[in-house]
Amino acid sequence: MIGGGFQNTFKIPELKKRILITFALLAVYRIGVHVPVPGIDHVALAHFFARAQGTLLGLFDMFSGGALERLSVFALGIMPYISASIIIQLLTVVIPHLEKLSKEGEQGRKKITQYTRYGTVVLSLIQGFGISIGLERMTAPGGASVVIEAGWAFRFMTILTLTAGTAFIMWLGEQITERGIGNGISLIIFAGIVARMPSALGNTFNLLSTGEMGIFTILLLLVLMIIVIGVIIYVEQAQRRIPVQYPKRVVGRKMYGGQSTHLPLKINTSGVIPPIFASSIIMFPATIASFLNISWMQSVANAMTPGSFWYESLYVVFIFFFCYFYTAVTFNPVDVADNMKKHGGYIPGIRPGKKTAEYIDKVLTRITLGGAIYISVVCVLPSILITRFNVPFYFGGTALLIVVGVAIDTMAQIEAHLLPRNYEGFLKRGSSRLRGRR
């Protein structure tokens, strides 16, 4: 049972240590969200962000866990790191040196990670400079300036503070991955979204008490949220199983093989990566544009408001792109076919080698299309409905997908530590186990 599974997690010293380290590092992150950048009038800043709810800044604030609204040292969040990861992965396809590093195993991955860190710092410096310029031009509804004393001293301090904050979050994510229960970057985004849920619920109850939202609307949103969560859990566990047959072979005096198995292909192979990457790509230029007082850039930022036609259309396009791109990066049909051929495995009716790789690629392409449609519907449809209902917080399908998806992955990570030690996991005995997305 689930309760027994949680009790068993603390019976393994190593797993208990990893969980406590994860919680401690996430607590450090949440404390840093409340450490403000110096030189800011936070009352005027709060008035400004009160008008930004439901806009692109509100979406960015959701991913930063409220750090942008407070303009804390973690205001940039983890998005520069994600943007740098996207750029490096795209360059891996076109630059032979990076492609060679990606195939060199652990040492190559370490070198690529190092390049990603450098890219994160560069992007943080650029974004930090744009935000510092935008803050100097920003005023509250009453006309009060957000920056107490503008100038290059403030700009330099803001750039340095925000870049250091992002670098520290990047380090926290890597520590959670190495010393904690894994998925460090995803857990940081997860913690930021979950931390905003109490205030979102509080805003909803305030609207109910003032009569701005009816009980029917709230019940409808609650039912929609439950349905979306159910769909996410169902699809994230869904697989397309390709039958694989292994012939019998004699080694010494023993006979091996002869069994039938299957190659599991997840419907959503890329997990929560596409919406996170898509949001990062959209928010990077649009956030800078929203801070700069240039008419045409302001028009672009206004057109990219969540719930608008242009934002949702571009969002879907990027989701489809990253579904296929990330699946191609993480799953190589040629390698899978070669490994099957080496061990004598074959798919019934398909010739081993090249034909097997083509068949796997064909199946993977089809189910990835279904996965991309699923992610697009989950991320876009609830957000559009919430915008129509004028809900004053951005907690739509994207947030639900990330929260539920990361929770499933985290439970699968813990399950993997429990099962080798003969402990019962989160599910009842005899039932199917949780399956990670990758």
pLDDT band of 222, cuts 50, 70, 90: confident
**Residue 225 burial (C-beta neighbours within 10 Å; 0-12, 13-18, 19+):** middle
**pLDDT at 65 exceeding the cut of 70:** no
Percent residues over pLDDT 70 in the chain: 77
The pTM of this model reads: 0.76
Could you count the other beta carbons within 10 Å of the beta carbon of residue 152?
8
Q: How much is the mean pLDDT over the chain?
A: 78
Most confident of the following: 138-152, 174-188, 394-408: 174-188
* Average of per-residue pLDDT across 193-209: 77
* Average of per-residue pLDDT across 95-105: 81
- What tens digit of pLDDT does each residue of 233-243 get? 888 888 888 88
pLDDT of the residue at 410: 85
pLDDT of the residue at 190: 87
Residues near 210 by beta carbon (within 8 Å), at least 6 away in sequence: none
pLDDT of the residue at 423: 56
Alpha-carbon span 290 to 58, nearest angstrom? 12
**What are the b/e assignments for 34-43, b being 16+ CB within 10 Å?**
eebbebbbee
- What tens digit of pLDDT does each residue of 262-316 get? 888 888 888 888 888 887 777 766 666 666 666 776 677 667 766 677 888 888 9
**In the chain, how long is the greatest CA-to-CA distance?**
88
pLDDT of the residue at 341: 83
Indicate the range of 108-117, 135-144, 288-297 predicted with least confidence: 288-297
* Average of per-residue pLDDT across 30-39: 85
Enclosing H/E stretch for 263: strand 260-266
Only one residue has tokens 């701005």, namely 212
pLDDT band of 257, cuts 50, 70, 90: low
Q: Both tokens of residue 180?
A: 């904690």
Indicate the range of 65-74, 249-258, 274-283, 380-389 predicted with least confidence: 249-258
Domain residue extents for the chain: 2-421
- Is 2-421 in CATH node 1.10.3370.10? yes
- What tens digit of pLDDT does each residue of 329-384 get? 888 888 888 888 887 788 888 888 888 889 999 999 999 999 999 999 888 876 67
**pLDDT at 430 exceeding the cut of 50:** no
